[in-house]
Structure 1
Amino acid sequence: MPTTVLAAGDHFVLPRLLTQELRNAVPGDGELEIHELRLPWPHTPFGKVAEVDEASGGEEEIIEALRGSRICVTQMAPLTERVLRACPDLELFCVSRGGPVNANLEAATRHGVAVCYAPGRNAVATAEHTLALILAAARGVADVHTDLKRGTWRGDTYDYGNCGIEIDGSTVGLVGFGAVGSRVARTLAAMGATVLVHDPYVRPDVVAGVARPVSLEELLSRARIVSLHARVTHETRGMISRARIASMPRGAVLVNCARGALVDYDAVCDALESGHLGGAGFDVYPAEPVPAGSRLLSTPGIVLTPHIAGASREVAHKAARIVAAEVARYLRGEPLAHCANPEAAR
């Protein structure tokens, strides 16, 4: 009897990509019976669904689509207590993103449903986007781009006081040295930067030859460019505060492609308006979408992108491939590679 699988994709990790990778990972006619569902993200922003965060689609829709399925592969579908109670056949829920924030892990464990995720799927894309924002913010690209699109050719941008800075010879500070931060560090070092890293969870020998580990205070006081690559925890929430921004060198550049909760954005706007900061680049925000009246939209010196650092076609394929590989392991009776609640695996 074939194993019934729900491929609940969206407009990024397409249902057909999930199906294709499932067929590749579990070869053989009749092994899988795959049903597809397309969720509305990102055309409709993700949000809280019942008790889980950053989900797309409603509980009723997911419950109906999951009927009779042993396995679900998805990026955004909500796995809530209600969904779990209504879907007793479900055994494996694979989330094709870096963390299963759209799954209630405690409830899944009680119901015996293993939850997997896809770490590192967008590390390359996010690192490349970070570099794009660093370069754009350091050279003031955002404002001159906007002016030129409006028909204004600004000659004053060649004034010494308005010129940007180069990577070569600059000191760059990275807060976090994981899959993304380490890639950014290697590229910046190759471009001639002196790279400082603050990451209390990384051994000094891991960064040796690429960067120098320092305290957060030293990093902020020395770096002309600071890029954030930390997760949001109790310790890191609001870590780039008004006081810490004030400790940065005058004219420094701040880039954040990690999480909006790391930064005091009002303090950033104040620092840009006063000239203390020379530029900023942001892909993540305290509220998404950014509200129409936000100062971020009107403060000069900021290059903005709408949380797309992890959006490349390659990421969608990697995400589908990672969760399909977990399905294959599960069906072969092998240990799961990226299980968030291993006590539930059966």
Structure 2
Amino acid sequence: MTPPVLAAGDNFVLSSLLTDAVLAEVPSADVTSLDLPWPDVAFGQVAEVDEASGTEDDLIEALAGRQVLVTQMAPVTERVLRSSPDLRLIAVSRGGPVNVNIPAATEAGVAVCYAPGRNATATAEMSVGLLLAVLRRIPETHAHTAAGEWRGDYYRYERCGLELEGTPVGLVGFGAVGSRVAKVLNAFGAKVRVYDPYADQEALAAYGEPVSDLHELLRQSKIVTLHARVTEETRGLIGRAELAAMPAGSYLVNAARGPLLDYAATCDALESGHLAGAAFDTFETEPIPAGDRLLSAPNVVMTPHIAGASKAVAEKAARIVAAEVGRWVRGEPLANCSNPEVLSS
């Protein structure tokens, strides 16, 4: 079988990475490419789908005669699906296919795959990096040193940060990212405690002490780092009462999702000194609006939602979706399919 494939890459998951991965999996594939502008041009809403890059017209033109689409950001809307009658498989190289209209794909008989876990290692490493950066004031002291200021006052006791060894660290969430963070923190000698009512508690206990009550975890932890998914249950999980439960002078890290955290309450806790510092890669609104309190809050380290931005993530994502193409060509079950009912019809 020589499936006609469109590799619609961008400036992170490159079209060339997708093409090479598909050809490694299915050497006979006929692969054409389309280059999307993300992240040089921000993703956004395209018709009814979100977090998409490029235009419907360009995608429709590129999909002519193609049976398979491998992409990260292409806007697969109802209009695109109606205009692409040959399409049978969409493989999205991200944790969830939010840029695909799943009901419309299902109605059109198009299977939709995705790539869970592609950035778990990168995000875990970034979480620990953010934690070390805020504990030891690395960005702040770098800025002074680069400006020619030799600031010995950072050796004053009240300006010194914490060591991880022997420090109680609370993890909220023990999925693909949280479990990796727990392993790293154990290597540092931290006292790891974990709150995740949905995790395998026996597996969790191998890397940290399970805590069944969130507020108890917060009271016990000098450092708290968030690794939960956003659901109706977890939205706003850490609010004013939860921050107040944390010990005075504690630290908070969020490289998971912005909606987990009440950022206004966090700013209050930082400004009052109740929180000694915080580090964030995700935010309630992205990009952060001009004049937002976070931009002037004390002892904050921030990065622009790049925890999953590593070369390895892009390469791994391409391999994951290419493997799905290989399974589809060989008639094997797909590993991660959003609408498996299409395959049995």
TM-score (norm 1): 0.96
State the match for 1:233 in structure 2.
231
Give how far 1:159 is off. Answer: 1.3
Q: What secondary structure does 1:44 align onto?
A: coil
Alpha-carbon distance in 2 for matches of 1:124, 1:280: 21
SS at match of 1:142: helix
Q: Which residue of 2 aligns with 1:309?
A: 307
- The residue aligned with 1:35 is 32
Q: Distance in 2 between matches of 1:328 and 1:192?
A: 43
Cα distance between partner residues in 2 of 1:148 and 1:273: 25
User: Secondary structure in 1 aligned to 2:158?
Assistant: helix
Q: 2:335 aligns with which of 331, 334, 337?
A: 337
Query: Where in structure 2 are there 5+ consecutive unaligned residues?
Result: none
Secondary structure in 2 matching 1:221: helix
Alignment equivalent of 2:285, drawn from 284, 287, 290: 287
Within the alignment, does 1:80 sit opposite 2:77 as a pair? yes
Residue 9 of structure 1 is matched in structure 2 by 9
Contact 1:142–1:301 (Cα < 8 Å) also in 2: no
Aligned pair 1:131/2:128, yes or no?
A: yes
Q: Equivalents in 2 of 1:152, 1:165: separation in Å?
A: 23
> CA separation in 2, counterparts of 1:72 and 1:266?
41
Name the count of aligned residue pairs: 343
Quote the Cα distance in structure 1 between the aligned partners of 2:153 and 2:298.
15
1:261-276 residue pairs with structure 2 within 5 A? 261-276=259-274
Name the SS of the counterpart of 1:345 in structure 2.
helix
CA RMSD of aligned residues (A): 1.3
Q: Percent identity?
A: 62
Contact 1:141 1:303 in 2 (8 A): no
Q: 1:196 Cα shift?
A: 0.9
- Please report the TM-score for the alignment, with normalisation by the length of structure 2: 0.96
- Residue 142 of structure 1: how far off its partner (Å): 2.9
**In structure 2, distance between residues paired with 1:345 and 1:51:** 24
- Of 313, 322, 325, 2:323 maps to 325
- Output the amino acid matched with 2:163: E
CA distance in 2, matches of 1:293, 1:204: 43
Q: After the TM superposition, which parts of structure 1 deviate over 6 Å for at least 4 consecutive aligned residues?
A: none
CA displacement at 1:199 relative to structure 2: 1.0
Other-structure match for 2:19: 19
Q: Does 1:71 align with 2:68?
A: yes
Residue 52 of structure 1 is matched in structure 2 by: 49
Unpaired segments of 5 or more residues in structure 1? none
Partner of 2:214: 216
Give distance in 2, aligned partners of 1:309 and 1:108: 30
Structure 1 letter corresponding to 2:96: G
Match of 2:111 in 1: 114
How far apart are the structure 1 equivalents of 2:37 and 2:287?
16
Give me the whole-angstrom Cα distance separating, in 1, the residues matched to 2:43 and 2:190.
37
Q: Determine the C-alpha separation between the residues in 1 that align with 2:187 and 2:231.
A: 31
By how many angstroms is 1:2 displaced?
Answer: 3.0
